[in-house]
Amino acid sequence: MNETSLNISIREVTKKYDQFYALKDVSLEIKSGEFMTLLGPSGSGKTTLLMVLAGFTNPDYGSVKFGDEEVILKPPHLRGIGMVFQNYALFPHMTVEQNVGYPQKLRGVSAAETKRSVEEALNTVKLEGLGHRGINELSGGQRQRVALARAIVFKPKILLMDEPLSALDKKLREEMQIELRQLHDTLNMTTVYVTHDQKEALTMSDRITVINHGELMQLGTPNEIYEHPNNHFIADFIGESSLLPVSIRDGKTSLNGEKIVLAEKAEKDGDYLLVVRPEKAFLADKKVKGANYFSGKLIDSIFQGESQLLVVKLNSNDDGQEVRVRVPNESVTQKALPEVGQTVSIGLKVADSYVVS
Partner 1 sequence: MTIVEAEKLNQKGLQKVASNERFTFFGLTLPYLIMVTALIVIPVGWLFYLSFIGRDGSFSFENYERMMKSKAYIRIFITTFKISILTTIICAAIGYPLAYFMSQLSRKWANICMIGVLIPFWTSLLVRTYAWLVLLQKKGLLNNMAIEMGLITEPIKIVHNTTGTLIGMVHIMLPFLILPLYANMRSIDKDTLKAASSLGATPTRAFWTVFFPLSLPGLLAGLLIVFVLCLGFYVTPAILGGGRVIMAAMKISSNIELYFSWGAASALGVVLLVVTGIILFIASKLVSMDQLGNR
Judged by CB under 8 A, the chain residues 41 through 60 that form the site for partner 1 are: 54-56
Site for partner 1 contains 154 (CB under 8 A): yes
Task: Choose between 31 and 74: whose C-beta lies nearer to partner 1.
Answer: 74
Task: Choose between 161 and 235: whose C-beta lies nearer to partner 1.
Answer: 161
Pairing of strands 81-84, 158-162: parallel
Pairing of strands 282-283, 252-255: unpaired
Question: Which residue from 3, 73, 92, 170 is in contact with partner 1, where contact means CB under 8 A?
Answer: 92
**How many angstroms separate the CA atoms of 256 and 253, rounded?**
10
Site for partner 1 contains 17 (CB under 8 A): no
**How many angstroms separate the CA atoms of 169 and 166, rounded?**
8
DSSP bridge partners of 312: 298, 323
Task: Choose between 45 and 80: whose C-beta lies nearer to partner 1.
Answer: 80
Using alpha carbons, select from 324, 303, 304 the residue that is nearest to residue 314.
Answer: 324
Contact between residue 39 and residue 211 where contact means Cβ atoms under 8 Å apart: yes
Task: Choose between 136 and 331: whose C-beta lies nearer to partner 1.
Answer: 136
Question: Which residue from 91, 129, 249, 270 is in contact with partner 1, where contact means CB under 8 A?
Answer: 91
Task: Choose between 99 and 212: whose C-beta lies nearer to partner 1.
Answer: 99
CB of 94 to partner 1, least distance (A): 7
Site for partner 1 contains 76 (CB under 8 A): yes
Interface region with partner 1, contact rule CB under 8 A, candidates 42-50, 88-96, 207-215, 268-276: 88-96
Site for partner 1 contains 85 (CB under 8 A): yes
Question: Which residue from 28, 125, 151, 216 is in contact with partner 1, where contact means CB under 8 A?
Answer: 151
Site for partner 1 contains 350 (CB under 8 A): no
Question: How many residues sit in the footprint of partner 1 (CB under 8 A)?
Answer: 31
Q: Which residues contact 136 (CB under 8 A, 6 or more apart)?
A: 92
Contact between residue 176 and residue 168 where contact means Cβ atoms under 8 Å apart: yes
Q: Where are the alpha helices (DSSP H) in the chain?
A: 46-54, 96-106, 111-124, 140-152, 170-187, 198-204, 222-227, 232-237, 331-335
Question: Which residue from 86, 230, 308, 317 is in contact with partner 1, where contact means CB under 8 A?
Answer: 86
b vs e for 167-188, b when ≥16 Cβ sit within 10 Å of the residue's Cβ? ebeeeebeebbeebbebbeebb
Site for partner 1 contains 81 (CB under 8 A): yes
Question: Which residue from 33, 40, 59, 80 is in contact with partner 1, where contact means CB under 8 A?
Answer: 80
CA-based torsion, 169, 175, 178, 179: positive or negative: negative
Distances, alpha carbon 186 to alpha carbons 4, 164, 206, 297, 302, in Å: 11, 19, 14, 51, 41
Site for partner 1 contains 193 (CB under 8 A): no
DSSP 3-state of 243: strand
CB of 187 to partner 1, least distance (A): 17
C-alpha angle with apex 36: 35 to 38, nearest 5 degrees?
A: 145
CB of 114 to partner 1, least distance (A): 13
Judged by CB under 8 A, the chain residues 94 through 123 that form the site for partner 1 are: 94, 102-103, 106-107
Terminal-residue alpha carbon distance, the chain: 38
Residue 188 is given by DSSP the state: -
Site for partner 1 contains 150 (CB under 8 A): yes
**Contact letters (x/-) for partner 1, 156-185, by CB under 8 A?**
----x-------------------------
Site for partner 1 contains 265 (CB under 8 A): no
Q: Which residues bind partner 1 (CB under 8 A)?
A: 54-56, 75-77, 79-83, 85-87, 89-94, 102-103, 106-107, 134-136, 150-151, 154, 160
